[in-house]
A and B are shown apart, each in its own frame.
Chain A
């Protein structure tokens, strides 16, 4: 039993990482209606920025906010330069653009920092708690805590600030927002900046574990997609719940389903995505689309 709980705790830890990247995906989807296949790579790039700052002598606790600010600016830039020109284009065009962005960012990181694996500072202390025989690492707690804080901040932003209200209006009905004088373009930039920042958080959280290299986020992306699909692509709450579920499912499957084992765990997101899309496409918390047959 303690072994099971142990696995669950580990699953929650990785699930929190998936949740944070899924959050970024959901933010983008709510604001611009697209699935950003390059979200993981952008997060990876942010993580490299953090690494570079630390490697150049900046203390970690300072490098972090600087990285977040840089990521915010980067996200705004991506919206303005890469996404805005294809706003309203057919879905496939936009998908290809984000795929191109994926390839570009991935290679860019390799170009600047090479493909050798780098160590990333672990912000959380080693060791952990012992709760009734179950070992809970500080790092797992830390990750979950950070994601919880991010969720809380997002909630405050969207529900209790006028900026958040404007953002929600744009996400809900951009045409009407325009008619009320809202500069929708600027709000979209804000949304992308925000998503990039959340993505940066997920990158920084996972780098100590997965080790920093350009292909670091590729695997995480699939799990984040599964999380967002499960929770509903237009639901931030769903992203988090979905992420935690996917994390736990992955860990338990890897540990207990012998035929899957650790190497085929990556089949778990596939199964989850398939199951959700065939049974309840809008996910747990998403809104059902109107089927105009």
Chain B
């Protein structure tokens, strides 16, 4: 008599843990050639969570993202919703729903803004998948991206190379979103951008996360900005995880921030 209840509880429990460990990284070692950068990372990201990866230069933050998206090989295990990511090529990772916005934005500078976005939806409209419904969905998504980033709508026919840094970053994020990713990886989105622009960007990322429940992992030098929108944060140093916890906690712990991030979090500007 009590078995069905137990089953259901078990099912709920396992589903809950699957949600909590939507992205699971265990014992991740990765590097370039003979240079070992990551020395065994372990962390998890829950579905729908925004997770910030912080740390000083050279800590391995970018390498972590690259290992997740298949740009760099590694040892260990990285599972996304149960499927093993490690060892897959970037193309395969994209097929599993991973969208990586690389450092430096990676826009297609010769293509127009709209063409850039359409490439983002490549997997959904590739040869053979040209169903009416899917094309309409892509068109709708395009509109939604333009809603998030009105400047892109203005410049939709311009070559991406002629956009400002901030606009290119928006375009790169927009392109990633066109994939309808289950995991969005952002590598140093604030790099080279003015504070106002980056604040705008991060607000949009937060909005996307809240509306679509997209899981986000953002790597940032600018710890403050990242912690503002993150739920959890992990701090890397020399390829190892040295601190993990809720973003609020890490943000408030000024001493930690100064030691590991070289940042005085106390002097936050208002607004």
Are both chains from one complex? yes
Seen from chain A, the residues whose Cβ lies within 8 Å of a Cβ on chain B are 162-163, 165-166, 168-169, 171-173, 175-184
> In the bound complex, how far is the Cα of B115 from the Cα of A171, in angstroms?
14
A176 touches B89 (CB 8 A): no
> In the bound complex, how far is the Cα of B187 from the Cα of A176, in angstroms?
13
List residues of B (234-255) whose CB comes within 8 Å of A's CBs: none
Tell me if A's interface is mostly helix, strand, loop or mixed: helix
Given contacts A166-B119, A169-B108, A169-B111, contact A179 B90 (CB under 8 A): yes
22 residue pairs of the A-B complex, CB under 8 angstroms, read: A162-B125, A166-B122, A168-B108, A168-B110, A168-B111, A169-B108, A169-B115, A171-B110, A172-B108, A172-B110, A172-B111, A175-B71, A175-B102, A176-B108, A177-B119, A178-B89, A178-B94, A179-B94, A180-B119, A180-B179, A181-B123, A184-B91
Rounded to whole Å, the gap between the CB of B270 and the closest CB of chain A is 37
B100 touches A179 (CB 8 A): yes
> What chain B residues lie within 8 Å of A176 (beta carbons)?
102, 106-108
Rounded to whole Å, the gap between the CB of B217 and the closest CB of chain A is 14
> What chain B residues lie within 8 Å of A163 (beta carbons)?
127
Rounded to whole Å, the gap between the CB of B271 and the closest CB of chain A is 34
Interface residues on B, range: 20 to 34
Q: Which of A176, A178, A179, A183 has the most CB of B within 10 A?
A: A179
Q: Please name the residue on chain B nearest to A184 by beta carbon.
A: B91
A178 touches B91 (CB 8 A): yes
A-B contact count (CB 8 A): 69
**A-B pairs with the 5 shortest C-beta distances?**
A181-B94, A178-B90, A176-B106, A181-B123, A172-B108
B127 touches A180 (CB 8 A): no
> What chain A residues lie within 8 Å of B63 (beta carbons)?
none
Rounded to whole Å, the gap between the CB of A270 and the closest CB of chain B is 32
> What chain B residues lie within 8 Å of A182 (beta carbons)?
91, 119, 122
A169 touches B119 (CB 8 A): yes
Given contacts A162-B125, A172-B110, A176-B108, contact A181 B179 (CB under 8 A): yes
Q: Please name the residue on chain B nearest to A30 by beta carbon.
A: B110
Interface: B118 (CB within 8 A): yes
> In the bound complex, how far is the Cα of B118 from the Cα of A168, in angstroms?
12
Interface string of B81-100 (1 = CB under 8 A from A): 00000000111001100011
Interface: B109 (CB within 8 A): yes
Interface: B120 (CB within 8 A): yes
17 additional A-B residue pairs with CB within 8 Å, beyond A162-B118, A181-B94 = A162-B127, A166-B122, A168-B110, A173-B108, A175-B71, A175-B106, A176-B108, A178-B91, A178-B94, A179-B69, A179-B71, A179-B100, A180-B94, A180-B119, A180-B120, A181-B95, A182-B91
> What chain A residues lie within 8 Å of B91 (beta carbons)?
178, 181-184
Interface: B175 (CB within 8 A): yes
Q: Please name the residue on chain A nearest to B95 by beta carbon.
A: A181
Rounded to whole Å, the gap between the CB of B175 and the closest CB of chain A is 7
> In the bound complex, how far is the Cα of B102 from the Cα of A180, in angstroms?
11
Residue of B99, B125, B126, B127 near A179 (CB, 8 A) is: B99
Given contacts A165-B119, A169-B108, A169-B111, contact A179 B89 (CB under 8 A): no
Given contacts A165-B118, A175-B71, A175-B102, contact A180 B175 (CB under 8 A): yes
> In the bound complex, how far is the Cα of B142 from the Cα of A56, in angstroms?
54
Rounded to whole Å, the gap between the CB of A174 and the closest CB of chain B is 10
Rounded to whole Å, the gap between the CB of B10 and the closest CB of chain A is 36
Given contacts A165-B115, A168-B111, contact A181 B102 (CB under 8 A): no
Rounded to whole Å, the gap between the CB of B113 and the closest CB of chain A is 13
> In the bound complex, how far is the Cα of B262 from the Cα of A285, in angstroms?
47
> In the bound complex, how far is the Cα of B123 from the Cα of A166, in angstroms?
11
B111 touches A179 (CB 8 A): no
> What chain B residues lie within 8 Å of A175 (beta carbons)?
71, 90, 102, 106
> In the bound complex, how far is the Cα of B116 from the Cα of A169, in angstroms?
8
Rounded to whole Å, the gap between the CB of A2 and the closest CB of chain B is 44
A165 touches B111 (CB 8 A): yes
> In the bound complex, how far is the Cα of B126 from the Cα of A183, in angstroms?
11
> What chain B residues lie within 8 Å of A184 (beta carbons)?
91
> What chain A residues lie within 8 Å of B179 (beta carbons)?
180-181
Rounded to whole Å, the gap between the CB of A68 and the closest CB of chain B is 21
Rounded to whole Å, the gap between the CB of A215 and the closest CB of chain B is 38
Rounded to whole Å, the gap between the CB of B219 and the closest CB of chain A is 15
> In the bound complex, how far is the Cα of B122 from the Cα of A87, in angstroms?
24
Rounded to whole Å, the gap between the CB of B126 and the closest CB of chain A is 8
> What chain B residues lie within 8 Å of A180 (beta carbons)?
94, 119-120, 122-123, 175, 179
> What chain B residues lie within 8 Å of A168 (beta carbons)?
108, 110-111, 115
> In the bound complex, how far is the Cα of B107 from the Cα of A162, in angstroms?
18
Q: Please name the residue on chain A nearest to B92 by beta carbon.
A: A181
> In the bound complex, how far is the Cα of B30 from the Cα of A89, in angstroms?
22
Q: Please name the residue on chain B nearest to A178 by beta carbon.
A: B90
Rounded to whole Å, the gap between the CB of A198 and the closest CB of chain B is 20
Q: Which of B107, B120, B122 has the most CB of A within 10 A?
A: B122
Rounded to whole Å, the gap between the CB of B77 and the closest CB of chain A is 21
Rounded to whole Å, the gap between the CB of B198 and the closest CB of chain A is 21
Rounded to whole Å, the gap between the CB of B214 and the closest CB of chain A is 16
> In the bound complex, how far is the Cα of B115 from the Cα of A166, in angstroms?
9
Interface string of B58-92 (1 = CB under 8 A from A): 00000000000101000000000000000001110
